[in-house]
Amino acid sequence: MATRYTSVSTSILDAIGDTPLLEVEGIYAKLEFLNPSGSIKARIAKYMIERAEQAGLLKPGDTIVEATSGNTGNALSMVAAVKGYKMLVVMPEGLSSERVAISRAYGAEVVFCGDFHVNAALEKARELGGKPGHFCPSQFESEWNVEENRVVLGPEILAQLPPGVLPDALVAGVGTGGTLIGVGQAFRAVNPDVRLFAMEPSESCTLLCGEVALHQIEGISDGFVPGIFQRHGALVDEVTSVASADAVASMRQLARRHGLFCGPSSGAHLLAAKRVRELHPELKTVVTLFCDKGEKYLQDYFMGSAVQDDSELAEPSPFV
Ligand code: PMP
């Protein structure tokens, strides 16, 4: 029986974290799309802002500025609303329209900069964030991002695994790299042999071959190798890739087969994690994350001509 909400909460931020760990198709998936604001990013948004407050970098009335492909923008907008800060979300055009609407719903201002990739938005946010009364959390660089994943999310997963079971592998797409590196550090601390797999779209294989191109796995492969990955990438054992079309087909199947209405990165994570199990049978306990909710992609994949009927739902091709 759920024991989580047995008393009155005082803030929606108290509902961040403590998400279920679900066994799905032989993989352990952390259901991060259930977080307030609809993604895993609620965790680092709250964490980075509270650390900045403790460090005296934010004071009442200040403006938070962040470059984002959308989910961190949504999450920071929620945190800013609760804590009374102004929020400026700097994001590229060409991403799902729901993310823009969600940040605005929380009262944030959205500034567009660049197309699809986050590079130009990053420059803009740095420039705006340097002004007096402004603070830029800098998720792609921030050690607080890594720290949340190491001290909160990672240990949460470890506590949820069956008694005596340790993770053999972690599979995670790289947006900031915070999840892969931070959770990876927590896993390594209990199992030095745990294998860490980075995942990126096969169309935009930035980590493996330095290429940047359009793809459909929003939230990862944002157009550059993030500072976090540059600093900690040596921890990672392997980079694996998933084609966008397969990620989207897998996302659709997650909803129809398992009632898990998530975004394309979740579909890609499941495919990549299953491949890791197939290719490495000795890795029995493979962990991944379902990062954001399907509602953020209604227009692109689930409405009007984007709706597919069952007959179109081919098995995703195993891999590229
Ligand atoms: N999936 C989605 C949907 C995301 O929004 C993100 C973060 N942008 C990730 C995966 C990757 O997480 P991280 O930034 O920790 O690498």
What pLDDT is attached to residue 19?
98
Name the residue with the closest Cα to ligand 1, atom 12: 175
- Ligand 1 mean position, distance from CA 159 (Å): 22
Helix axes 41-54 and 71-83, enclosed angle (nearest 10) = 50
What pLDDT is attached to residue 3?
59
Looking at this predicted complex, what is its ipTM?
0.99
pLDDT tens profile 148-159: 999 999 999 999
Name the residue with the closest Cα to ligand 1, atom 11: 175
Nearest to 34 by CA among 212, 126, 156, 124: 156
Burial class (CB in 10 A: 0-12, 13-18, 19+), 191: middle
For the cut 90, the answer to whether the pLDDT of residue 245 exceeds it is yes
Domains of the chain: 12-34+142-302 (3.40.50.1100), 41-135 (3.40.50.1100)
- With beta carbons less than 8 A apart as the criterion, state whether 224 and 269 touch: no
**Residue 226 Cβ contacting ligand 1 at under 6 Å:** no
What pLDDT is attached to residue 95?
81
> Does this model's pTM top 0.90?
yes
> Is 293 considered catalytic here?
no
> Is 204 considered catalytic here?
no
Nearest to 70 by CA among 159, 171, 175: 175
User: What is the SS3 assignment for 52-71?
Assistant: HHHCCCCCCCCEEEEECCCH
For the segment 46-67, the average pLDDT, to the nearest whole number, is 97
For the cut 90, the answer to whether the pLDDT of residue 271 exceeds it is yes
